[in-house]
């Protein structure tokens, strides 16, 4: 496994319940600020294997990015179960719920 992938997995596992991070934020914290799409790929291919809290990762606009309606609804419900307010359109207030892992984000 590549170091970037390992770091992304580590960061995602460390997102506390009741908070979210963005794909780009995770990419930057893992050492590659322009690799948000790689974070998407890692989540898609490794969430089950590594038991990742995939539902805590959203896009930079603060919304659920998943297009499939069943999975979109599952993510919304999981976030709400953790106390995160999600609008009917799937938006989360990043100012209120975004986790800042400053130690790894400051590596950049």
**Residue 48 maps to which CATH number?**
1.10.10.10
Range of the domain at 27: 3-105
Q: What is the pLDDT of residues 67-88, one digit of tens each?
A: 999 999 999 999 999 999 999 9
Q: Has residue 89 got a pLDDT over 70?
A: yes
Tell me how far apart the alpha carbons of residues 98 and 25 are, in angstroms, rounded to a whole number: 10
Q: Has residue 63 got a pLDDT over 70?
A: yes
pTM of the complete model beyond 0.85 = yes
For 11-103, where are the E strands, in sequence order?
21-22, 57-58
Domain count, the chain: 1
Other Cβ atoms less than 10 A from the Cβ of 11: the count is: 23
Q: Is residue 21 within 8 Å of 94, Cβ to Cβ? A: no
pLDDT-derived band at 102, boundaries 50, 70, 90: low
For the chain, where are the E strands, in sequence order?
21-22, 57-58
pLDDT-derived band at 1, boundaries 50, 70, 90: confident
The b/e string for 25-52 (b: 16+ C-beta within 10 A; e otherwise) is: bbbbbbebeebbebbbebbeebbeebeb
């Amino acid at each position: 496994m590549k170091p970037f992938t390992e770091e992304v997995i580590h960061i995602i596992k460390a997102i506390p319940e009741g908070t979210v991070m963005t794909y780009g934020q995770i990419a930057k914290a893992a050492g590659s600020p322009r690799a948000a799409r790689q974070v998407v790929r890692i989540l898609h291919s490794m969430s089950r294997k590594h038991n990742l809290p995939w539902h805590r990762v959203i896009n930079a606009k603060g919304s659920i990015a998943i297009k499939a309606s069943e999975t979109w609804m599952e993510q919304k419900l999981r976030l709400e179960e953790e106390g995160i307010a999600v609008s009917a359109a799937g938006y989360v207030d990043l100012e209120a719920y975004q986790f800042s892992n400053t130690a790894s984000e400051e590596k950049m």
